[in-house]
Amino acid sequence: SAASAPALKRTNSIADNIPDALRQSRYHMKRCFAKYLEKGRRIMKLHHLMEEMELVIDDKAERNQILEGNLGYILGSTQEAIVSPPYVAFAIRRNPGIWEYAQVSSENLSVVEISSTDYLKLKESVYDENWVNDEHAFEADFGAFDFPTPHLTLPSSIGKGMSFASKFLSSKPSGKVEKTQALVDYLSTLSHGGQKLMISDTLNSAAKLQLALIVADVFLAGLPKDTPYQNFELRFKEWGFERGWGDTAERVKETMNILSEVLQAPDPKNLDKLFSRIPIIFNVVIFSVHGYFGQADVLGLPDTGGQVVYILDQVRALEAELLLRIKQQGLTVKPQILVVTRLIPDARGTKCDQELEPIIETKHSHILRVPFVTEKGVVRQWVSRFDIYPYLERFTQDATTKILEHLEGKPDLVIGNYTDGNLVASLMANKLGITLGTIAHALEKTKYEDSDVKWKELDPKYHFSCQFMADTIAMNAADFIITSTYQEIAGNKDRPGQYESHAAFTLPGLCRVVSGINVFDPKFNIAAPGADQSVYFPYTEKDKRLAQFHPAIEELLYDKVDNNEHIGSLSDRRKPIIFSMARLDVVKNLTGLVEWYGKNKRLRNLANLVIVGGFFDPSKSKDREEMAEIKKMHALIDKYQLKGQFRWIAAQTNRHRNGELYRCIADSKGAFVQPALYEAFGLTVIEAMNCGLPTFATNQGGPSEIIVDGISGFHIDPFHGDESSNKIADFFETCKVDSSHWTKISSAGLRRINECYTWEIYANKLLNMGSMYTFWRTVNKEQKEAKQRYIHMFYNLLFKNLVKTVPLPSDEPQKPVTKQ
Ligand code: UDP
Ligand code: LCN
C-alpha cells in the first residue's frame, strides 16, 4: 500500500519527493501530464486527476502498481491541481492544516516548490488573466500580525486552544513576572455595577496580593467551613479583598489557594480552575440576526433552522451555569443574556415583530429585536441571509444603543452567530472594547465548489464577496472561536475544514487573501452543542412519552387525504419508516434522498419513506432555492411513482411534537437519514440519536464526527446515492433477520450522545473561554490593537464598497404570504 512506499522521505517537503515519484514511471507520467494539459488552463480536483490518469494508463495492474508507489501517496494527499500550460501545480495537504504547493513541468517533469501566493495566482489565471498580471493586485495578509502570538504545532491539537493558552501562560521562560503582574491587573479590573470584585486597588502588585493571601489563609483555617462570606466580609475588606471569592469560608479558601499557587508557580490545571471561578461574566449579548428568530412557529421557515434551536438551548444552559457560578462565588448578581436579532414587521404570524420577549425556561434572559432601517424607513419583510449586508452597519448602531439601555451598561461578553451576527458582534465588540466569541454554524464558502474563484459568477445570487470578506473580518477580530467539531476547523485526513479553507483563498479581481486565518491559532476551541434532553429523550422512556400527540402524529403519517400539511400516503403500515427532516435547501439534499429511494427497489420493498420539510406550493415561497426544491420534489414523486410508499410532510414547528415524532419512527423500527451534500454540524442527527433512532448521516461535515460509522450509526456518501441507499437497505435486511441489530445501533447512538454531546459540557466550556480569553487579550494587547487597525481599514476600504453591490428589496408591495 501507499503507506509502505519505500523511497519516500515523509518528513521532507513534498516537492522533494515528487521527482522520485515521477521517475518511477516516467513514460506514463509524461503521457498523463500531456492529457492534463490537453484542455488548457483549468482547475482539476483529485477525482479529475484520477479519471484522466485511468484513461491514459488503461492497464489496471500497471495503474495499481504506479498508485502503490510514491505517486499514489502524493496523489492521495492532493486536493486539487491547476493546469497552466506547460505546468501543473498541485495543492497538497498531507495533514490537516498543513499545505504545500508544488509546480511540475509537463515537459521534463521537473518540480519546484511554490508559495501559496504563487499557487493562488495560478488559480486566478484560470479566471482573470489581467488581475494576475497586475503587480499591485491587492493582497490581504492577516497573518502578518500574528507573529508575536504563540501557535499550536500539531494537527491533533487544533481546536484545543484553551488548554494551549493555559499551558503557555504558565510556562516560565517568557517572563513569569510580567505575566503575574498581568494577572493581578486583570483581577483588579473585575467589577460589577460599580462594585469592585475580588481585590481592591490596594492589592495592586503580586507581592502585596501574595502576602494578603497568606494572612487570609491563616484566618480562614480557623473558621468552620460553612461560615458564610458575609460573616467575615468586613475584615476581608480591611485586607483589600472584595466579594467574589466564594460563598463560604471553604470555597473562599479554595479559590485563594488556587490563586496563591498560580502566583507562586503557575501550572495549567490551577490556571484553568482559577479562570472557571473568576467572576467576570454576568451580561452576555448573543447576535443571531437573520431568519425568523422566535420561540414558536418559526422552524423550517426560510433561513430558520438549527441556529435558532442552538441559541435558545445555549441561552438556557448558559444562564443555568452562570447562576450556579455566581452563587458559588458568593454574589447575588442577576446575570442577563440578551439574544439580539432583527425585528420583522411582516412576521407571518410569528412573534418576530415584537421588540422584547422573555426566553422561556430562563429567569433573566430575553430576545431583543431591532428593525433593519434604510433611508426609506423600516424594512418590513424577511430578507435572505445572502442579501443582508446593506443593513448591518446601521443595525449595529441601533442595536448597541438598545443593548446599553436594556443592560444599563456594557455586556461582558459578545457572541456572534453566522456571518451576519459575527460581523455585527465584531463591530460592537470593537467599539465597546469587549471580549468577542464567534460561532459559524456554517461557513458558506465550503458548501459551493470553487466559490471563491468563481465569485463573479455567483455574486449576483449569493453575494459571496461580502460573505467571505465578512467571515474573514470576524474570525480575525474574534478573541475566541467556538466550533462544534474538529472537522469544522481542520476537516479530516481527506478534506479541508471550513476555517482551513479560509487560510489562503482568492477572489480574482478583488482580493487575494494570502493569509486569511491560521487554524493553529489558539483562539480555536471545540464545544459541541447538545439537544434539549427534556424534548429529545429515548423512545423507551414510556412514562415520559407524549401520548397526547399520538392521534396527530398518526394523522400526519397515515391519513389518506392530501392537504396542505401532508401529501402522498403509506399503504403498508407494517414497514419500518425511513425518516428525514430539514429545511428545503439544496444543500440539505432531501430531494436527493427521495431520488435514491425512488431508484432502489430493494429499499422500497423494505421500508417506507417520510420526509418533513418546506411546503408544497412553490409560488408561495420567497426563497429561490426552496422554490426550486419544491418543484423538484413534485417531479420526483411522479417520475418514480412514489405514491403508497412515500409521505411528504410540510415543515413542522412544534419541537415537543417533533420529539415524539422521532420516537414514533423508532417505534416502527425505522431509521433517520441525514443526506446533506454538506452539513456543518447537524442538530437533527443528535436529536434522532437522543430519541434512540438509528441514524444514517452524511459523511460530508460534522455528522461524520458525531457518528462512529457502523457502531453508533452509519455514514453515507451523498455523492454516491446508490451505495448509500444500499447501505440503508442492508441495515433493514439485517434487522429483518436479527432484530437485536436495530437495538444495538440504537443504544450505541445514545451512549455516544451522553458521552460527548450535552449542553452542560458546552456551557461550562464556553464560560471558561469567556474568562480565559478576556485575560489572553490583555496579555496580547499590542498585537490585538495592530490587527484591529488593519481590520478596520479592510472593513472601510473594501467591505463597505462590496456591500453597495447588494440590491435593496424593490419598492413593489410584497406578495401576501399565507402561513403554511
Ligand atoms: N426543524 C424543525 N422543523 C422542520 C425542519 C427542521 O423543527 O421542518 C428543526 C430540527 O428539529 C432541528 C433544526 O430545525 O432542530 C435544524 O437544525 P440542523 O442543524 O439540522 O440544520 P440547519 O437548519 O440549522 O441547517
Ligand atoms: C446551522 C447548520 O447548518 C447546522 O449544521 C448546525 O447544526 C446548526 O446551525 C446549529 O449549529
Dist. CA 547 → ligand 2 center (Å): 29
Closest residue CA from atom 8 of ligand 2 = 306
Dist. CA 680 → ligand 2 center (Å): 6
Looking at the predicted structure, is the pLDDT value of residue 7 above 60?
A: no
CA distance linking residue 662 with residue 317, whole number of Å: 23
Dist. CA 305 → ligand 2 center (Å): 7
CA distance linking residue 353 with residue 346, whole number of Å: 7
Q: Residue 393 has which C-alpha cell?
A: 452597519
* pLDDT-derived band at 818, boundaries 50, 70, 90: very low
Identity at 557, one-letter amino acid code = L
Dist. CA 300 → ligand 1 center (Å): 7
> Which one of 293, 303, 308, 310 would you pick to mutate in the ligand 2 pocket, going by the greatest count of ligand atoms within 8 A of its CB?
310
pTM above 0.80, yes or no: yes
Closest residue CA from atom 14 of ligand 1 = 305
Q: What DSSP string runs through 180-226? A: HHHHHHHHHT-EETTEE-SB-TT--SHHHHHHHHHHHHHHHHTS-TT
* pLDDT-derived band at 199, boundaries 50, 70, 90: very high
The Cβ of residue 739 has, within 10 Å, a number of other Cβ atoms equal to 11
The Cβ of residue 196 has, within 10 Å, a number of other Cβ atoms equal to 16
Dist. CA 90 → ligand 1 center (Å): 38
Dist. CA 682 → ligand 1 center (Å): 8
Percent of the chain whose pLDDT exceeds 70:
96
684 ligand 1 Cβ < 6 A: yes
706 ligand 1 Cβ < 6 A: no
**Ligand 1 nearest atom to the CA of residue 582, by list position:** 5
Looking at the predicted structure, is the pLDDT value of residue 417 above 60?
A: yes
587 ligand 1 Cβ < 6 A: no
Task: Taking the CA atoms of 774, 776, 779 and 780 in sequence, report the sign of the dihedral they define.
Answer: negative
Q: What DSSP string runs through 411-442? A: -SEEEEEHHHHHHHHHHHHHHHT-EEEEE-S-
Dist. CA 484 → ligand 2 center (Å): 9
Dist. CA 539 → ligand 1 center (Å): 20
Give the closest residue to 43 by CA, choosing from 69, 79, 75, 93. Answer: 79
Looking at the predicted structure, is the pLDDT value of residue 18 above 90?
A: no
**Ligand 2 nearest atom to the CA of residue 702, by list position:** 5
Identity at 300, one-letter amino acid code = G
613 ligand 1 Cβ < 6 A: yes
Give the closest residue to 558 by CA, choosing from 664, 675, 632, 695. Answer: 664
583 ligand 1 Cβ < 6 A: yes
What integer best gives the mean pLDDT of the chain?
93
Looking at the predicted structure, is the pLDDT value of residue 816 above 80?
A: no
Q: Could you tell me how many residues make up the chain? A: 820
Q: DSSP code of 709?
A: B
CA distance linking residue 515 with residue 538, whole number of Å: 46
> What end-to-end distance do the CA atoms of the chain give, in Å?
56
683 ligand 2 Cβ < 6 A: yes
Ligand nearest to the CA of 626: 1
Phi, psi of 219 (to 5 degrees): -65, -45
Give the closest residue to 341 by CA, choosing from 385, 390, 395. Answer: 395
307 ligand 2 Cβ < 6 A: yes
**What is the ipTM, given to two decimal places?**
0.98
308 ligand 2 Cβ < 6 A: no
418 ligand 2 Cβ < 6 A: no
CA distance linking residue 56 with residue 35, whole number of Å: 7
Looking at the predicted structure, is the pLDDT value of residue 642 above 90?
A: yes
CA distance linking residue 708 with residue 705, whole number of Å: 7
**Ligand 1 nearest atom to the CA of residue 614, by list position:** 8
Looking at the predicted structure, is the pLDDT value of residue 817 above 70?
A: no
pLDDT tens, position by position, 298-328: 988 889 999 999 999 999 999 999 999 999 9
**Ligand 2 nearest atom to the CA of residue 484, by list position:** 11
Say whether the peptide bond before residue 508 is cis (omega within 30 degrees of 0): no
441 ligand 2 Cβ < 6 A: yes
CA-to-CA dists, residue 284 to 365, 420, 637, 744, angstroms? 9, 18, 48, 42
685 ligand 2 Cβ < 6 A: no
CA distance linking residue 243 with residue 196, whole number of Å: 8
Give the closest residue to 759 by CA, choosing from 486, 425, 535. Answer: 535
Dist. CA 685 → ligand 1 center (Å): 10
Which has more pLDDT, 29 or 7? 29
299 ligand 1 Cβ < 6 A: yes
pLDDT tens, position by position, 775-795: 999 988 999 999 999 999 999
Most distant pair of Cα atoms in the chain: their distance? 88
**Can you name the residues that pair with 749 across neighbouring β-strands?**
none
Phi, psi of 204 (to 5 degrees): -95, 5
The Cβ of residue 144 has, within 10 Å, a number of other Cβ atoms equal to 12
Looking at the predicted structure, is the pLDDT value of residue 355 above 80?
A: yes
Dist. CA 335 → ligand 2 center (Å): 27
